[in-house]
């Protein structure tokens, strides 16, 4: 057995302090070691062991992933100086093209390597895919994978799919449904949806009158909600009968309940709405390489790795939520999905629901709308 | 390196005033040994606190900490159109109610642990400590499953032809969750306080004819007061910052101030507003705590004078 005396302990402490100060004094030395490490800032799923462990083994690398559940937080993590920390960022479609690339938070991908992958994706992603490209179309800014319609969810045993699709957002204006619906805690999406319940297109600059209507609608919708909570809470409340429907929801949120044997819970995309006639909103994730001064070479390798049909299927059914992936355009990937898995992600109506949806965009007066919505939320007590 | 290369400094030859000043600045051995820990504390505790305070005075929706100074964040919070006062009110009211309910619930349990349960006390104490090993969120989700429609309670009552009351997603169930979560934080300081009351003193008072109420009021309560106060303060401070109970059990039927701070740092991306709210919460809690402590003269309670 080794015995340590006080002098040994001091030596170890001294060595530790020296090592720490050395790393701080010579960041170049730390930079050099990055070929075996990579950090991902992402929505849940990409941080799961099913997705990351095979990559870790293949590359013999240390891969760290942090999962967050809203885009603005992730973008501001980069803005606040964390571009030196992260190698990949996975957010919804508008951010790469409209915000992150103009602000130099991300860097383009080599087109010759990655453009061919888009040829094998579902038709709507064929190149040049708008949200993966820079505004002028010259640069490839990220890779697409998961996507889905995201409007609201109903228990079709209580409200039929036909009624829900035809009535659309007006369901939440119906006084007889007060106390029977929930609101998913997803505030950026709730801003879109309160606008839609008010019959206003969210993705434009709003007049004071429209903002007043938004505020009044927010007060009414939040007052009438039985519960506000996360995805687990919404699904649990739907299954137990506490609520019949919930606002902000789609295949992303309801697929776990459907996969668990509750196919009557269904994501709904309204047939019509105030966005040039469309009533639904969809999302498409774009994963980009961060403008890290010492970007890990594994970042690009990881983006290639998740294009593999088997890995793409794993990403689609990673823990937490289940979603369609763009790689389902490749037969080798599509064939990996079982009938139950296709049912869980509502493959039967996916195409028509995406067609009835506008793609997630940035609300120009989001901050003001969010403040009004938070005021309304507090007044529900 | 040989000693010959070192300059020889003769302390006696230094001017007296410089030497005195140097001695005045010298740290004691204890202070020097403690300095790494003090430095660590300064970095780990003070640095984030100062950063939060700095952010509170930064331009709204920017990261210009220590580069800008404005009172706008506080002005917005105190604007009558801003309903954030409701979150403060709910947090403080529910924290106060939690303390009151826990004082009533925990006193008999603590009394039992000290004077009644005897050798079972340790086992009962473990029963109260054990839930703390499980994540608070998991325990609260457990309660949701217990109270939810067709859940454990409803299922059991349906067996006998009854149905469970509709308690979930309300302020009342939020209070229940807070009482459940913070029970141990009140119970154990209170138990410690009661265990400090000498049994001889109670027997002596009884021998002199004091009634049970008089013994409780004149002996037991004053002597156990340090533990009771510490428990109440600890519970209040923790409960004022609580958020999980209102989110999971309460279904956000009320918005707590910690939730508002969280929203400011996440969806709103207004770190200066979140920091200003956090600073105000710290001031309110510290103010209330210090006022309470000042009124209750701990020295006298602790018997130092």
In whole angstroms, give the CA distance from residue A163 to residue A166.
5
Tokens 């990673």 belong to residue: A318
In whole angstroms, give the CA distance from residue A205 to residue A215.
15
CB contact under 8 A, B252 and A233: no
Digit-coded pLDDT (tens) for A341-368: 999 999 999 999 999 999 999 999 999 9
> Is there a contact between B210 and B218 (Cβ–Cβ < 8 Å)?
yes
> Is there a contact between A40 and A47 (Cβ–Cβ < 8 Å)?
yes
In whole angstroms, give the CA distance from residue B186 to residue B184.
5
Stretch 37-76 of chain B: residues touching chain A, C-beta under 8 Å: 61, 63
Residue B7, phi then psi, degrees to nearest 5? -70, 135
Where are the domains positioned within chain A?
A: 29-147+284-351, 148-281+360-378
CATH number for the domain whose boundaries are A148-281+360-378: 3.40.190.10
Nearest-CB residue to A226 (from B87, B169, B248): B169
| Mean pLDDT of the residues in chain A | 92
| Superfamily name with CATH number, domain B82-301 | MetI-like (1.10.3720.10)
Q: What tokens were used for A46?
A: 């990409």
Digit-coded pLDDT (tens) for B230-278: 899 999 999 999 999 999 999 999 999 999 999 999 888 899 999 999 9
Digit-coded pLDDT (tens) for A131-176: 999 999 999 999 999 999 999 999 999 999 999 999 999 999 999 9
Nearest-CB residue to A229 (from B84, B247, B260): B247
Higher pLDDT, A278 or B14: A278
Digit-coded pLDDT (tens) for B35-66: 999 899 888 889 999 999 999 999 999 888 89
In the structure, what pLDDT confidence band is assigned to residue B305 with cuts at 50, 70 and 90?
very low
Q: Hey, of B141, B153, B165, B267, which one would you mutate to test binding to chain A, going by the most A CBs within 10 A of its CB?
A: B267
**Neighbouring-strand partners of residue B48:** none
Higher pLDDT, B86 or B23: B86
Digit-coded pLDDT (tens) for A25-73: 444 444 456 899 999 999 989 999 999 999 999 999 999 999 988 898 8
In whole angstroms, give the CA distance from residue B116 to residue B120.
9
In whole angstroms, give the CA distance from residue A40 to residue B213.
64
Report whether pLDDT(B101) > 50: yes
Q: What tokens were used for A85?
A: 């920390």
Q: What is the pLDDT of residue A23?
A: 42
In whole angstroms, give the CA distance from residue A326 to residue A329.
6
In whole angstroms, give the CA distance from residue A337 to residue A317.
9
List, in order, residues 6 or more apart from B224 with CB less than 8 Å away: B190, B193, B194, B196, B197
How many alpha carbons fall within 13 Å on the CB side of residue B113? Answer: 23
Topology (CATH) of A29-147+284-351: D-Maltodextrin-Binding Protein; domain 2 (3.40.190)
Nearest-CB residue to B268 (from A185, A233, A370): A370
Q: Hey, of B80, B269, B274, B275, which one would you mutate to test binding to chain A, going by the most A CBs within 10 A of its CB?
A: B269
In the structure, what pLDDT confidence band is assigned to residue A16 with cuts at 50, 70 and 90?
very low
In the structure, what pLDDT confidence band is assigned to residue A6 with cuts at 50, 70 and 90?
very low
In the structure, what pLDDT confidence band is assigned to residue B291 with cuts at 50, 70 and 90?
confident
In the structure, what pLDDT confidence band is assigned to residue A22 with cuts at 50, 70 and 90?
very low
Question: What distance separates the 2 farthest-apart alpha carbons in chain A?
Answer: 79
Q: For chain A, say whether B253 makes contact (Cβ under 8 Å).
A: yes
Distances (CA, A) of A141 to A5, A96, A363: 57, 7, 21
In whole angstroms, give the CA distance from residue A250 to residue A154.
10
């Amino acid at each position: 057995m080794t015995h340590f005396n006080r002098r040994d302990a001091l030596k170890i402490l001294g060595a530790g302090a020296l090592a720490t100060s050395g790393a701080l004094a010579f960041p170049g030395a730390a930079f050099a070691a990055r070929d075996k490490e990579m950090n991902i800032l992402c929505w849940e799923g990409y941080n799961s062991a099913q997705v990351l462990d095979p990559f870790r083994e293949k590359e013999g690398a240390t891969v760290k992933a942090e999962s967050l559940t809203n885009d603005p937080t992730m973008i501001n993590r980069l803005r606040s100086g964390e571009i030196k920390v992260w190698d990949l960022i996975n957010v919804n479609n508008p951010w790469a093209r409209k915000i992150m690339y103009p602000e130099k938070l991300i860097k383009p991908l080599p087109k010759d390597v990655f453009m061919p992958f888009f040829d094998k994706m579902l038709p709507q992603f064929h190149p040049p895919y708008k949200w993966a490209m820079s505004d002028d179309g010259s640069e490839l800014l990220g890779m697409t994978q998961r996507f889905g319609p995201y409007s609201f969810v109903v228990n079709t045993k209580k409200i039929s799919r036909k009624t829900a699709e035809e009535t659309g957002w007006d369901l939440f204006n119906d006084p007889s449904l007060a106390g029977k619906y929930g609101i998913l805690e997803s505030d950026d999406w709730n801003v879109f949806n309160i606008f839609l319940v008010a019959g206003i297109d969210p993705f434009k600059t709003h007049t004071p009158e429209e903002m007043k209507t938004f505020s009044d609608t927010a007060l009414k919708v939040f007052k009438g909600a039985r519960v506000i909570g996360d995805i687990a809470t919404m699904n649990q409340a739907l299954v137990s009968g506490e609520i019949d429907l919930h606002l902000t929801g789609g295949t992303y949120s309801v697929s776990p309940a459907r996969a668990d044997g509750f196919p009557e819970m269904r994501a709904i995309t309204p047939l019509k709405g105030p966005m040039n006639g469309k009533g639904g909103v969809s999302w498409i994730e774009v994963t980009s390489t961060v403008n890290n001064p010492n970007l890990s070479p594994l970042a690009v390798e990881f983006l290639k790795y998740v294009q593999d049909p088997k890995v793409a299927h794993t990403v689609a059914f990673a823990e937490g939520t289940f979603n369609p992936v763009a790689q389902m355009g490749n037969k080798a990937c599509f064939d990996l999905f079982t009938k139950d898995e296709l049912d869980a992600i509502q493959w039967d109506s996916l195409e028509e629901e995406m067609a009835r949806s506008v793609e997630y965009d940035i609300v120009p007066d989001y901050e003001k709308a969010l403040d009004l919505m938070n005021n309304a939320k507090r007044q529900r007590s | 390196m040989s000693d010959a290369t070192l300059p020889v400094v003769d302390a006696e030859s230094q001017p007296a005033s410089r030497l005195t000043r140097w001695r005045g600045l010298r740290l004691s051995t204890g202070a020097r040994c403690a300095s790494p820990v003090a430095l660590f504390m300064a970095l780990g505790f003070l640095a984030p606190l100062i950063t939060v305070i700095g952010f509170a005075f930064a331009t709204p929706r920017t990261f210009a900490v220590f580069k800008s100074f404005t009172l706008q964040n506080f002005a917005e919070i105190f604007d009558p159109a801003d309903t954030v006062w409701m979150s403060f009110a709910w947090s403080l009211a529910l924290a106060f109610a939690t303390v009151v309910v826990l004082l009533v619930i925990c006193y008999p349990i603590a009394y039992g642990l000290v004077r009644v349960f005897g050798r079972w006390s340790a086992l009962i104490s473990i029963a109260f400590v054990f839930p703390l090993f499980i994540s608070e969120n998991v325990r609260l989700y457990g309660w949701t499953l217990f109270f939810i429609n067709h859940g454990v309670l409803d299922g059991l009552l349906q067996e006998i032809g009854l149905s469970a009351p509709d308690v979930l997603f309300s302020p009342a169930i939020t209070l229940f969750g807070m009482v459940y979560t913070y029970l141990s934080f009140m119970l154990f300081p209170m138990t410690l306080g009661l265990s400090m009351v000498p049994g001889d003193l109670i027997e002596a008072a009884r021998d002199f004819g004091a009634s049970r109420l008089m013994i409780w009021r004149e002996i037991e309560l004053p002597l156990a007061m340090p533990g009771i106060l510490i428990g109440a303060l600890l519970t209040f401070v923790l409960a004022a910052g609580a958020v999980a109970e209102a989110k999971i059990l309460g279904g956000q039927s009320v918005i707590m101030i910690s939730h508002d701070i969280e929203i400011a740092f996440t969806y709103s991306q207004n770190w200066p507003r979140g920091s200003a709210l956090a600073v105000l919460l710290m001031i309110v809690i510290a103010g209330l705590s210090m006022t309470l402590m000042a009124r209750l003269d701990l020295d006298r309670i602790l018997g130092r004078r």
